[in-house]
Amino acid sequence: MGISFVIHPHPAEAASKVHSAKEGDTYYVLSKQYGVDLNKLMQANPSIKATNIYAGLKITIPSEAKAVAATKAQAASPAVMLPTLNVFPENKVVEAWGKTFDYSKTLNVKATAYSSAASENGGWGAVDYFGNPLELGTIAVDPKVIPLGTKVLVTGHTHPGLPKKAFVAEARDIGGAIKGNKIDIFIPGSPKSVREFGIQDVTLYFIK
């Protein structure tokens, strides 16, 4: 009679796995995906910098059992999108509404708001500098400070016509009064409701 042997995996092997990175992966994204602590994830990969994660890179994911439990919990209950904002300056990562963005820099600016009324758009009507229809996410900028086409995450604002906590915007418009560290945010609605925005101090995160 032959003798068979059963080789049990080492506890450390059972508690971790290797993830093959894909485009857009960050430590924060993986910590949420696998349900592991962000710091523990980074400590498990001391030779991999947060700014050097690329497609195909092998990343060790600790606590696989916790990841499985987190996955089951997500499957059991429907996802509820809550207005969240978390910044991880050491990794140049900002998380908003469940999505993560790598950012290159931040800028504090004075913000005002404008509507689609022709009187607020130089008589051109409800279009931006490029002739496209104004929409939520359009901001007017000073191109010398923020080049047209730049995408930013706007934070620190308050207005019922805008998403809470943060929203993605693109520099698609200019204005005669928008000079220096100022932006003008397009908000759908009547001129009266838009004027309630007033002047606010907001922070922009320059995202890709």
pLDDT of residue 78: 47
- pLDDT tops 80 at residue 70: no
201: β partners: 110
Q: What is the DSSP string of 104-142?
A: EEEEEEEEEEE-S-GGGTTTS-SB-TTSPBP-TTEEEE-
Tens of pLDDT, residue by residue over 98-149, are 889 999 999 999 999 999 988 888 767 789 999 999 999 999 999 999 999 9
110-124, 157-171, 189-203: least confidently modelled range: 110-124
Chain centre distance of CA 169: 11
Rounded-to-integer distance, Cα 200 and Cα 163, Å: 15
114: β partners: 186
Q: What token pair was written down for 178?
A: 């928008």
pLDDT of residue 52: 78
pLDDT of residue 80: 52
pTM of structure: 0.64
C-alpha distances out from residue 101 to 66, 143, 189, Å:
25, 23, 29
pLDDT of residue 107: 98
pLDDT of residue 98: 80
